[in-house]
A and B are shown apart, each in its own frame.
Chain A
């Protein structure tokens, strides 16, 4: 079904991605079970667009980001980035194409090596892949730093001197210095204050327009995802339950989980007393996901069918996919 939606200019095509983590026990590390962190996820990202992936903790959104770049080995599935199949590639070839696909992490404090100056951190991989001659490295790094609104004198400074927002700029600069086509942003602003968050989001958006980047923007914050994304996928317990272009998703929300998620976001207006759909209970453990529709344990609209039969991920309007038995068209 992903192929129907795909036009030719997909930068990322992920098909039926699965990642199970074995649960090991004892000295002999016997496998006694599996955590189905990602359990069959498919989506595409078009060139120059942003795909937003929302979900609560434990939904597997972070694992999707890391697995599709093969930072952790996938269990099965296919990930084609910039026309190349990442999962079947040899390790050496994979290393060579790393510059094309970059990732920005959540915690700006632990994602910079404290013992290297900023210039080295940003330039390290550029030199490793010989993207620019050694003599031009400094200029290259400085120009990237300028793009990320860092100052030239900071080239020789060490991470401990920087605030969270500045560190995140450094992380963005490190990714951009390699000239990537896709950047996976894994909760890049959730550790930051609101005002700094806005600076980083603006920077990312600005860079996207100037460089034609494609983003996979992973976040638990619906409002941030809504602001920055073109297409949004909502994850629950390892699967995407609803996926649609942003406007469609937020206007014609179809899946009960998405609706609950939307109504759970507090609104900065004391007059709005929303008719909340409060979800009861917690996310089930991905080590023992419920049968049938994974959401049925918390769903207000569940039927007997939901408890046994896994819903199909079907297109209810152009580009709008939902996995729910009870969706009315």
Chain B
């Protein structure tokens, strides 16, 4: 063991080396470190997730495209374009009767200078319709999610907080609502709306309400489950023991702790609802002509000529749906990973 000599290096004698000396450190390293709040930690983890950042970027761009760009874009979604029969020149305003007689509809124009994505079979500008259709899709998503959140949080919260018979009754209601066959109901709703002569522009609002009334059950289940487990957590019991008012328990502890999960579910649901809306519009249940929606734009693919010769008409809305839903899923997954306490980094 020659180590001993190394261990004594710098000391004249063993005795000197063995004189007591205290090394207690009063300073606390943690004091001088920048600390993060839980919200900041979530954001940080989210930003580190590449897919989630990509998804967020796509969504921001998509929102700009649907809500911002139309303000500067010269065409409207319902405007119909004509061509001069002789010159092939595009006509937007008819200044004379003769011109009107000499014009034909600018149907299924290929992408070009005037219409970047061409026109559809009604002679409407595809790009404009894509933007307005996106508005509808995003709006439907948001409104339905808001409706389902409001109903789901209130009913789920009541069931979880009060338990007992409230819980039993509400959970049976959840089961009943989730057992309603969705597609047949939507078809019935659609024909009802036609019978009572609702204008195609307003039809979508009724569809949103029905969707909201059908889709709150998963949110209610989530909230109930969360609140049930939070109630058992010792910090909620500590809140009981310190005599915190029920209202403050809900607002300070329950809501902030269920919020992350809710945000994740809401984000993933947004993508799902957009997909549902597209399906409905594709089937003609959702938004009606002349108004655009990504779903009814894709439905033009039913025409075999369009499918084969004019892919610009159906591929672009299809891609928009795909990208948007994918982006919502990326963001939702990113949020879930970021808020999951097991993913500590």
Contacts and interface: CB of A to CB of B under 8 A. Distances in A.
Interface residues of B, number: 27
Interface stretch (B91-99, B100-108, B147-155, B239-247): B239-247
A96 B243 contact: yes
Nearest to A101: B241
Interface in B196-248: 233-235, 237-245, 248
B238 A178 contact: no
Given A111-B234, A114-B341, A128-B242, A158 B35 contact: yes
A113 B257 contact: yes
B245 A111 contact: no
Contact of B243 (A95, A110, A114, A115): A95
Interface in A126-175: 128-129, 151, 153, 156-158, 160-161, 171, 174-175
Given A110-B233, A115-B38, A158-B38, A128 B238 contact: no
A99 B238 contact: no
Contacts of A128: 242-245, 248
A98 B243 contact: yes
Interface in A243-295: none
B235 A102 contact: no
Contacts of B239: 124-125
B242 A98 contact: yes
Given A29-B168, A158-B37, A71 B233 contact: no
Contact of A125 (B235, B244, B253, B257): B244
B19 interface: no
B38 A125 contact: no
B184 interface: no
Contacts of A71: 237, 240-241
A125 B28 CA distance: 29
A112 interface: yes
A153 B33 CA distance: 11
Contacts of A125: 239, 242-244
B242 A112 contact: no
Contact of A115 (B233, B241, B245, B257): B257
Interface residues of A, number: 40
Interface in B224-282: 233-235, 237-245, 248, 252-253, 256-257
Interface string A89-124: 000001111110111011100111111110000001
Nearest to B41: A160
A69 interface: yes
Nearest to B242: A125
A110 B257 CA distance: 13
Contacts of A66: 237
B170 to A, nearest CB: 14
A178 B234 contact: no
Contacts of B41: 160
Contacts of A69: 241
A158 B238 CA distance: 17
Interface string A168-198: 0001001100100000000000000000000
A107 B235 CA distance: 10
Nearest to B167: A29
Nearest to A151: B28
B31 interface: yes
Contacts of A124: 239, 242, 244, 252
A177 B136 CA distance: 54
A113 B250 CA distance: 13
B238 A103 contact: yes
A160 B168 CA distance: 36
A161 B30 contact: yes
A103 B240 CA distance: 10
Given A151-B28, A158-B35, A113 B235 contact: yes
Contacts of A113: 235, 252-253, 257
Given A98-B243, A99-B242, A129-B243, A105 B237 contact: yes
7 contacts: A95-B245, A99-B243, A111-B238, A114-B38, A114-B257, A115-B256, A160-B38
- Top 3 closest pairs, chain A to chain B, by CB: A98-B243, A125-B242, A111-B234
Given A95-B245, A105-B237, A111-B233, 12 more contacts: A29-B168, A66-B237, A105-B234, A111-B237, A113-B235, A113-B253, A115-B38, A125-B239, A128-B243, A128-B244, A151-B28, A161-B30
